[in-house]
A = this chain, B = another copy of it.
């Protein structure tokens, strides 16, 4: 424990000289076969470059939601990025324990042609619209406790947490993406507006699950989340900045596929349909000794974040 600060939370995993008998969640993930680390395609990776202090640039990486979930909005986001629409826009709202939100502060910038219509009906989708490989639904935890407070069942679809209702697997069962820390959603006005995808937010606090099925979830921040979560909070209503100078400038937003090859970064996520995933969940439910003496035998869906990692590039 020599170089570990006194009372360092979770010091155990980093500092215990002998490997604990039960591996940490991170150790379980890193021990996965290489094939279970799934590369995120350049066409699924949105790169938002912010103005940092002293002329620096800060790149936030966002993985887009896999089809067919929220696909109308995701298609629009690809079009907005291709049109360079977010260039010279800004982060306009940061509300503590809630969201950081970005888009066109003037509300007057014309949208590019070709955006598709969106509908609140698509906040959820038919269970049968998902591929059969979507994975098992967890309906009950142990000891009679439920797997989730908000929905009857939870599962993961290609790296994203999802919820479902209790109906039998039939045309009637619906599924929907979940708001967790880091989730990216689509700002909207009152219904019937369902948002175009031009106004986006990232969750920077406790999971606001009451937004589920009320708003489209389109992705999640997979790297450099701190560039959003550590921004100064806005002092206006709902966390909007009161002065234009308080906003963080967005230099540009690009699909990784549009970046020059020598600027691309590559990320992968731990497959949520492989053999390691259930072991990772188990490690999250019962954290490793010696620091954790009272295992929880439980983990809520947002306390089981899908691991991601940077992969070597060719440079």
| A181/B210 in contact, CB under 8 A | no
Which listed residue (B97, B211, B298) contacts A150, Cβ 8 A? Answer: B298
Stretch at the interface among A65-73, A79-87, A99-107, A266-274: A99-107
Q: Judge if A23 is at the interface, Cβ distance under 8 Å.
A: no
Q: Tell whether A238 pairs with B7 under 8 Å between CB atoms, given A145-B149, A210-B292, A212-B296.
A: no
Name the distance in Å between A212's Cβ and chain B's nearest Cβ.
7
The stretch among A34-42, A228-236, A251-259 that forms the contact with chain B is A228-236
The count of chain A contact residues (Cβ–Cβ below 8 Å) is 82
* Across-interface contacts of A8 in B (CB, < 8 A): 93, 187, 189, 238, 240
Nearest B residue to A149, CB-CB: B300
**Residues on B with beta carbons closer than 8 Å to the beta carbon of A226:** 96, 232-233
Known contacts A214-B293, A230-B233; decide if A201 and B9 are in contact (CB<8 Å): yes
- A162 and B181 CA atoms in complex are apart in Å by 23
A246 within 8 A of B: no
Q: How far is the CA of A219 from the CA of B302 in the complex (A)?
A: 23
Q: Taking chain A's interface residues, is the majority helix, strand, or loop, or is none over half, making it mixed?
A: loop
Closest 6 interchain pairs by CB? Answer: A7-B187, A146-B146, A7-B199, A213-B294, A226-B233, A181-B206
29 contacts between A and B (CB under 8 A): A5-B105, A7-B189, A7-B199, A8-B240, A9-B201, A94-B230, A96-B229, A97-B225, A145-B146, A145-B148, A146-B146, A149-B149, A149-B298, A150-B300, A180-B206, A181-B206, A190-B291, A191-B290, A205-B229, A206-B302, A208-B303, A209-B296, A210-B296, A212-B294, A212-B296, A213-B294, A214-B292, A229-B230, A230-B233
Q: List 11 other contacts, CB 8 Å, given A146-B146, A181-B206.
A: A5-B107, A7-B103, A7-B189, A9-B215, A94-B230, A97-B182, A120-B293, A150-B300, A207-B300, A209-B298, A226-B232
